[in-house]
Amino acid sequence: MNTHPNLLSVENSVLIVVDLQSRLSSAMPEPDGELMTVNAGKLVEAAGLLNIPVLVTEQYPKGLGPTDASVVERLPETAQVFEKTGFSCCAAKGFDQALQDSQRKQVILVGQETHVCVLQTALELLHEGYQVHVVMDAVCSRKTEHKHYALQRVQQQGATITNYESVLFEWLRNSAHPDFKRLSGFLR
């Protein structure tokens, strides 16, 4: 049976963690900021278990600090981290090449801020021919309406707006998957 091309697959996915840095997260409204970090962490850990590449960006880490420790501790050893000062992840030196080297076309975006770095990354990746999935409960902006309109904008341009549970279930595809029991714990 042919599957719908918009369903995520383990073999074609790459997870991108956009600027999920503690200092920036502290400016996010609660509970949205905490939800973003928790759900992004679950996806990072699941990606590691399923051998899905993880790319991480850090916006001006000298000023905004490193990636949140709760996410770092879940990163697979193969994760690559890129520093940047440009807002799009594509502005980070080596990022585009790492994404190309993954040979995957389904990009899952988590992180902050939705209306700046996530939005600019999504638009540039769409332009480059990637299938972009923005995880609405794993992204955040300082103002809720900024997140709302950014999600609306990227959806109008062809991105898929999804949630972390849908991503996990699409990666697993079947309750008979050998990692289903372990990953089902992330769904609580």
- Which residues have a catalytic role annotated? 19, 84, 117
Sign of CA dihedral 14, 19, 20, 25: negative
> Letter for the amino acid at 144?
T
Whole-angstrom Cα distance, residue 136 to residue 150? 10
CB 109 within 8 A of CB 164: no
Structure tokens at 140: 């955040």
DSSP structure string for 6-49: TS--GGGEEEEEE--BHHHHTTSPTTHHHHHHHHHHHHHHHHHH
